Amino acid sequence: MKRPLIRDPWVQAALPPLLVGIVVLSLWEAACRGFAIPEYLFPAPSVIAASLVQNGPDLLRALWSTMRVTLIAFALSTVLGTLVAFLFVQSRFIERGFFPYAVMLQVTPVVAVAPLIIILVRDTQVALVICATIIAIFPMISNTTVGLRSVDPGLANLMRVYRASRMQTLLRLRIPSALGYFFAGLRISSGLALIGAVVAEFVAGTGGRSAGLAYEILQAGFQLDIPRMFAALSLITAAGILLFLAMSGLSRLALGSWGDPERV
């Protein structure tokens, strides 16, 4: 017996946002045409789509450039953030000593620090990666630290009763307990890495072959090519959504066996 398509859970999940999107885009298109809003003020979706196709190669190259910075920064945040978290849980002294500085890193707006980093670091790409990492690393540190500390006291007692070694407790109890927090950290951090990369690009204003999407947006602004600006913007959004979905999928894959990762 085949289920009707409308009852399929995937369709049920995708249908409402799809409908809302179509309605909004239609209204937007209709308003632009109906009120004859000029392209250079607020382009209609169809115009943006046309620009996306027309400037496709340039925009995709820019997208790749931004994504490369994002992904490197994200990978660095994950590795370094996790290492720092493991250090933090080794001793309260280390955590107390360093945590305020991790917070300092987090609360200082990257826009304010970026010019300094770009001056100090000769290679612009490296500077961009540093900026993005500074933003993205904090949720990895704090989430993984909380996760490694979030051990059920009953299970901790159980490990003591059975005389588990420090290593056994780490591998069999602490790391599994931390996974939920770790993956939540990954989701937040991936988004922040993208934000960091774009913000840093704005500040650096790098041109040439390694120009990112932020540079495209700046250039389009100077040239009053607003449809192109929107096209670049839509690519950044799409990249962000893609990252988020990838991280959600990864966490479901890893935690699927023991329940809803959102609840952890």
Sign of CA dihedral 152, 157, 163, 165: positive
| C-alpha to C-alpha distance for 82 and 80, rounded to whole angstroms | 5
User: Which of these segments, 24-32, 120-128, 137-145, 153-161, binds other proteins (CB under 8 A)?
Assistant: 153-161
Binding mask 175-194 for other proteins (x = CB under 8 A): -x--x---------------
User: Which of these segments, 14-22, 118-126, 235-243, 250-258, binds other proteins (CB under 8 A)?
Assistant: 250-258
Interface residue with other proteins among 13, 18, 22, 160 (CB under 8 A) is 160
How many residues line the site for other proteins (CB under 8 A)?
20
User: Which of these segments, 45-53, 102-110, 172-180, 213-221, binds other proteins (CB under 8 A)?
Assistant: 172-180
Taking the complex as a whole, how short is the minimal distance between the CB of residue 177 and other proteins, in angstroms? Answer: 9
If one asks whether residue 258 binds other proteins (CB under 8 A), the answer comes out as: yes
Taking the complex as a whole, how short is the minimal distance between the CB of residue 168 and other proteins, in angstroms? Answer: 6
If one asks whether residue 263 binds other proteins (CB under 8 A), the answer comes out as: no
Taking the complex as a whole, how short is the minimal distance between the CB of residue 161 and other proteins, in angstroms? Answer: 5
N residues, the chain: 264
| DSSP H/E element including 82 | helix 56-90
Nearest to 208 by CA among 73, 65, 67, 57: 65
Taking the complex as a whole, how short is the minimal distance between the CB of residue 260 and other proteins, in angstroms? Answer: 10
Token output for 110 = 């990257």
Nearer to other proteins, 121 or 155 (CB): 155
Burial 9-34 (b: 16+ CB within 10 A, else e): eeeeeeeeeeeeeeeeeeebeeebee
| C-alpha to C-alpha distance for 137 and 99, rounded to whole angstroms | 13
Q: Which residue in this structure is represented by tokens 């999107």? A: 21
